[in-house]
Amino acid sequence: MPDAGFAKTTHWRRRGNEKPSLRRRLLTFLLVPVLIVLLLDSLLAYLVALAYSNRVHDADLSDSALTLAEMMTSNALDGELTAQARFLLEYDPDGRNYYSVISSTRGRLIGNAELGNPGHLVAVDRAPVLYNSSLGNRPLRAAVMRIPNPNAHEPNDVLTITVAENLRDRHQRAREILMLTLPLQTLLILAIFLLLWFGVSYGLRVLEPLTARLGRRGHDLSPIGETDVPVEILPLTRTIDDLFARMRGMMTLQERFIADAAHQLRTPLAGIQLQVERMDTTNDVTAHADALAHIHRLSTRAARTSAQLLALTRTQSPHLDEAGRMCAIDLAQIIPEAVSLRVHQALGSRIDLGYESNMESSPILGDALMLQELLDNLIDNAFHYAGPGHSITVGLHRIDDAVLLSVEDDGPGVDDAFLSRLGERFFRVPGVREEGTGLGLAIVESIAEQHDAKVTFLRGALGGLRVEIRFSPAETPPA
């Protein structure tokens, strides 16, 4: 016999794997409240029927009290009732009625039960007063009235006349009225269910033109638009349009990367192939060594170009902040560490690399790895174009409400006419002999843009190039 707990777990797992249904969800949210309202309506109908039954029975009970008072008046000589009168007062097909007549001077005259008083004084010669009473554990409804004793020998005597009945017949009448309305309630429930089912099914057909149009799109990533889109679906289609826009951006970025890679790697790869063919056509050791040197230089250039193309593509990705890598970091901590990692290379290149700052803490919102790449590209650019025997200074200062990162060299610099073009993809200053890809400063521009920072290219105080990057400080200090 299978374990009951395992069967139950399997059942819930199967239900959990069901695909969500908009129709089922709408019907659930519509039918459940409607069924609850109909149940409340049935309860209200029963309460109304019970109130109506109580009102009718209360009227009959008052009439019975008045009738008993008239009987007492007609039997004033002895205070007794005839057998027929007793039968009429006590008769009840579902139980028994109760009555009593109590004299203020002689006590109880007639009656078949000890009935409680209403709890307050009832005026003489007034209409019967209705109240709830009980006999043992049986709840009763009673009517009481007071009349002067018609016996002339007792002019100051007052008779208290009480008539009571059980509540069974009242509830029975209310249930009968409810049973009369139940078929109508059932038909109403079925009619509402069918109307809701038809309305939801018909209403969902408005999505069919949109579904058909999307099915014919193929690989088209253009915006869906709002032509045949219901108002309730607009937030979804706008979100999809945003997704399409990001996908178009990523595809454009991918196509640009492929085009750039093909353009930039064509020359070094063709050069490598040429040097390999040169080695195949000669046995000269000197020619082989020269060809290997060219191959090494060209392969290094291809590797650097590939790395910078990948870095540029990565920095241009629109999902940097969405990846959750942006956080509060301290430039006064990471910049000196990044500069120290390049000191050994600077010494080997006979370049004086230094760092200066007047800040103990400079928090910004950013990504430490990308800022490291930004600084590496600035230092690499200075290494290539300043050359041996020159100096490079990395600075970090607070200017007004901004954090200013600067890299300045005392090399030959760049003509003012070309400063505005620095940062363009593949742009290299004319006349520069040093090899490069023209991507380093483009990477700097892209990373700065991701950090909402502004890049400025200037002529340095010593004639070289000065690059300034202005960051906005973080609102909260780094953790």
Same domain, 381 and 306: no
For residue 5, is it within any domain?
A: no
**Sign of the dihedral through C-alpha 241, 247, 249, 251:** negative
Where do we find the tokens 């301290």? 330
Q: How would residue 11 be classed by pLDDT, with cut points 50, 70 and 90? A: very low
Same domain, 446 and 393: yes
Mean pLDDT, rounded, for 122-135: 87
End-to-end Cα separation, the chain, in angstroms: 59
Residues of the domain holding 265: 231-315
Q: How much of the chain, in percent, has pLDDT values that exceed 90?
A: 5
Nearest alpha carbon to residue 142 among 126, 160, 157:
160
CA 439 to chain centre: 42
Same domain, 101 and 244: no
The residues with which 16 forms a beta bridge, in sequence order, are none
Mean pLDDT, rounded, for 150-154: 68
Same domain, 153 and 278: no
User: Are 147 and 161 contacting, i.e. CB atoms less than 8 angstroms apart?
Assistant: yes
Ranges 86-90, 130-134, 366-370: which has the least confidence = 86-90
User: Are 449 and 470 contacting, i.e. CB atoms less than 8 angstroms apart?
Assistant: no
Residue ending a domain, choose from 287, 315, 343: 315
Q: What is the pLDDT of residue 462?
A: 84
Number of structural domains (the chain) is 3
Higher-confidence position of 465 and 87: 465
- Which of 203-207, 312-316, 329-333 is modeled with the greatest confidence? 329-333
Instruction: Output phi, psi for 131, to 5 deg.
Output: -160, 165
Same domain, 374 and 300: no
Same domain, 307 and 337: no
Ranges 148-162, 187-201, 362-376, 456-470: which has the least confidence = 148-162
Same domain, 254 and 170: no
Q: How far are the Cα atoms of 268, 378, 379, 458 from residue 469, in angstroms, in the given order? A: 33, 11, 14, 11
Q: What is the pLDDT of residues 96-111, one digit of tens each?
A: 688 888 888 888 888 8
User: Are 38 and 188 contacting, i.e. CB atoms less than 8 angstroms apart?
Assistant: yes
Q: What is the pLDDT of residues 416-427, one digit of tens each?
A: 788 888 877 767
Q: How would residue 407 be classed by pLDDT, with cut points 50, 70 and 90? A: very high
Residue ending a domain, choose from 289, 315, 341: 315
Same domain, 36 and 149: yes
For residue 12, is it within any domain?
A: no
Nearest alpha carbon to residue 72 among 5, 132, 154, 147:
147
User: Are 95 and 135 contacting, i.e. CB atoms less than 8 angstroms apart?
Assistant: no
- Rg (C-alpha) for the chain, rounded Å, is 50
Q: What is the pLDDT of residue 394?
A: 92
Instruction: Supply 36's token pair.
Output: 């609850």
For residue 109, is it within any domain?
A: yes
Mean pLDDT, rounded, for 344-361: 87
For residue 76, is it within any domain?
A: yes
Q: How far are the Cα atoms of 242, 288, 330 from residue 320, in angstroms, in the given order? A: 16, 47, 19
Mean pLDDT, rounded, for 10-18: 49
Q: What is the pLDDT of residues 46-97, one digit of tens each?
A: 898 889 888 998 898 898 888 888 887 775 445 555 555 565 566 555 546 8
- Which of 73-87, 215-229, 269-283, 356-370 is modeled with the greatest confidence? 356-370
For residue 13, is it within any domain?
A: no
Q: What is the pLDDT of residues 431-450, one digit of tens each?
A: 565 565 667 788 888 888 88
Same domain, 170 and 278: no
> How would DSSP label each residue in 203-264?
HHGGGHHHHHHHHT-TT--S---SSS--GGGHHHHHHHHHHHHHHHHHHHHHHHHHHHHHHH
Q: How would residue 478 be classed by pLDDT, with cut points 50, 70 and 90? A: very low
Q: How would residue 121 be classed by pLDDT, with cut points 50, 70 and 90? A: confident
pLDDT higher than threshold 70 for residue 14: no
User: Are 145 and 123 contacting, i.e. CB atoms less than 8 angstroms apart?
Assistant: no
For residue 226, is it within any domain?
A: no
H or E segment to which residue 177 belongs: helix 168-204
User: Are 73 and 152 contacting, i.e. CB atoms less than 8 angstroms apart?
Assistant: no
Please state the length of the chain: 479
The mean predicted confidence, pLDDT, of the chain is 78
Same domain, 211 and 71: yes
The residues with which 393 forms a beta bridge, in sequence order, are 354, 408
Q: What is the pLDDT of residue 309?
A: 63
Same domain, 56 and 202: yes
Q: Domain with 253 in it: what CATH number?
A: 1.10.287
Q: Read off the pTM.
A: 0.44
Q: What is the pLDDT of residue 226?
A: 74
pLDDT higher than threshold 50 for residue 292: yes
For residue 140, is it within any domain?
A: yes
Higher-confidence position of 21 and 140: 140
Higher-confidence position of 92 and 232: 232
User: Are 142 and 133 contacting, i.e. CB atoms less than 8 angstroms apart?
Assistant: yes
- CA angle centred on 110, ends 133 and 143, rounded to 5°: 30
Q: What is the pLDDT of residues 275-285, one digit of tens each?
A: 787 788 888 88
Same domain, 100 and 235: no
- Buried (b) or exposed (e) across 346-378, using 16+ Cβ within 10 A? beebebebeeebeeeebbbbbbbebbbbbbbbb
Residue ending a domain, choose from 265, 282, 315: 315
- Buried (b) or exposed (e) across 97-122, using 16+ Cβ within 10 A? bbbbbbbeeeeebbbebebeebeeeb
- CA angle centred on 68, ends 154 and 53, rounded to 5°: 145
For residue 188, is it within any domain?
A: yes
From the number of C-beta atoms within 10 Å of its C-beta (0-12, 13-18, 19+), residue 458 rates as middle
Q: Domain with 456 in it: what CATH number?
A: 3.30.565.10
